Structure 1
């Protein structure tokens, strides 16, 4: 993870109060995590870092686009994403990130890396079902869409034909009731 040194925040030298960190994320960032779902990406992440005497309050904000294939047509498109991730950093006897909203750092820590939080925030911001905007508004012309339309099940109106052998039985039931 030597490529992620720019995401280290050395908090020992920071004064109490608000600090702002900005990051530009592209595919080289995701390659360090061996994540290759995006063809290309362009995301701006801002980190509002508030240092208090006993804890830190962090708010990550991401906005940008990732180039992904459409789940319907397999056409590539730029999916817009926005996400916000609040995080509280406290100090304790040992490192603990079991709670997704609270990170506990050991008392002797002097810096920590925020790359994992940025990575998870962006990956989770991408919708599970990715549909090209032109498919949604009906303007997409694609071989896949044409084939899907061709194979679409059409409603078939059938005339209900009854088996004459059952007609006699139906009459028996109605004759009993009358």
Structure 2
């Protein structure tokens, strides 16, 4: 049995009615996907597939939490996931993604694997900046970060580029070549 079999949907078996699917996306799912973005989590996915005259409408609702590194202290943190997404699948000559919500699926293929779409919907629901609340961050890492930031900031003040005395080191090297 293939590792993605439970995420495959046979479009030919979907009648005119709506069909509901439910998936538990736990550690096994993230191990199968084997992608570095999100590697741990516990997310429930509810999917309804409705056949229309021209297409199949996939309505996804994913909710739960994934573990990702905090941008501030690098410790693992829980990121809540709650997203609703739609995917429309139409038959055509060859596979193409017409937009974020529309896929053209080859007429000779009847089975669609939704595993990667589930993963994408999770990843796209994660904010760009993800940090713990300040009191939950690793205190040792925060103190190192603040120490680095203070040193870095004082170096910037020493090299004030608006000052008349500041000379870009690249120009200094060129002057040495010129004076030879």
TM-score bracket, shorter-length normalisation: 0.7 to 0.9
Of 139, 142, 165, 2:139 maps to 142
TM superposition score normalised by structure 1: 0.74
Compute the displacement of 1:72 (Å): 0.7
Looking at structure 2, the residues matched to 139 and 114 of structure 1 have their Cα atoms a distance apart, in angstroms, of 36
Higher CA-based Rg: 1
1:140 deviates by 4.9
- Counterpart in the other structure of 2:101: 101
Secondary structure at the aligned position of 1:119 is classed as: helix
3-12 or 94-103, which deviates more: 94-103
CA contact (8 A) 1:27 1:38 kept: no
Counterpart contact for 2:37–2:123, Cα < 8 Å:
no
Computed over aligned residues only, the root mean square deviation of the Cα atoms, in angstroms, reads 2.5
Matched with 1:89 is: 89
| 3-state secondary structure, aligned to 2:84 | strand
Aligned residues: 153
Normalised TM-score (structure 2): 0.73
Is contact 1:30–1:36 with CA below 8 Å preserved after alignment? no
Q: Is the 8 A contact 2:73 2:137 kept in 1?
A: no
Which whole-Å CA distance do the structure 1 matches of 2:84 and 2:149 have between them? 40
Structure 1's unaligned 5+ residue stretches are: 154-178
2:17 counterpart residue number? 17
Question: Matched residues in 2 for 1:96 and 1:43: separation?
Answer: 28
Look up the match of 1:53. 53
Where structure 2 has 5 or more consecutive residues not aligned to the other structure, the ranges are 151-180
Partner of 2:121: 121
